[in-house]
Structure 1
Amino acid sequence: MLKTNLLVAQNRMKAQADKHRREKVFEVGDLVYLKLVPYQLQSLAAHAYHKLHPRFYGPYEVLERIGSVAYKLKLPTDSKIHHVFHVSCLKKHLGPGVSPLTVLPVVTEDGLKSLEPMSILQRRVYKKGKGAEVQLLVHWKGSKENDATWEDYDELTKKFPDFPL
């Protein structure tokens, strides 16, 4: 009696939870966008504003279905990210045009995002407590000039001592 009541309750909870879920199925050759978790791919050189980074990369072609919830994607040859992803990390590409929105971030062998400053676009001084802090607008290699970020001068000199400021 107790066991059957428990099974009935479990089935009822599963039915309620499944109302909000939808099954994602992709065919071989479909184009999908890839969602990467930004805070897992950041190194010390990356900035803390991961909420402003792109959420999806791609579109990339589905090469193979692995099991019921994993897919192998055709990523660029120079990417150091594993090619198999869970279905929850993928979003179907809709529309006729195929133009990559963003390229995959360059990742080191440690799995960390590698960024190098390319140039300093601007300099600003702001008041912090009783002193003044200097920040630099840094244009990063492999990114657009519009994606430049403000970085503290002291932090930048620690991370990149050879970079001319």
Structure 2
Amino acid sequence: MKKTSHLRLPTFEIGQKVWLNNKNLPLYRKYRKLMPKREGPFEIIDKKSPVVFKLKLPPQWKIHDTFHASLLVPHTENFLYGQHHERPPPDLDEGEETYEVEAIVNHKLIRNRFHYFVKWEGYPTSENTWEPPENLEKATDILRRYKRLHRLP
């Protein structure tokens, strides 16, 4: 008998949306305790076995996209939680698409240059991306405040 035979795992189907438990995810945030416990919702794109599923993750997530059913929770929309709002369209600035920065969440040094983990206005935290400073020209005041707060050059 298998160790996990006593678990009652929900059944999932391809195309269903699920929340992913972020307990084992490498998230770049300072205080894990204050973060949401789940990320998503993500769509199931393949069923590898009765308890292993492949999810459609954002391209900036550089992790394996297959997870055990114990890490997944079915997504249900209700009035208070889980509603999806339309994402704002990008601004057109000189024919180039630009997005508004809501906050800078973290930073790291890559090849002697700082890169910043950016939370975009109107997008969920799963869409945060690492950006070099030249991509943040429209958010100079947010960048200046972040540098002053973290005592960066």
TM-score (ref. length: structure 1): 0.46
The structure in which a higher percent of residues are helix is 1
Q: Looking at CA atoms only, which structure, 1 or 2, has the larger radius of gyration?
A: 1
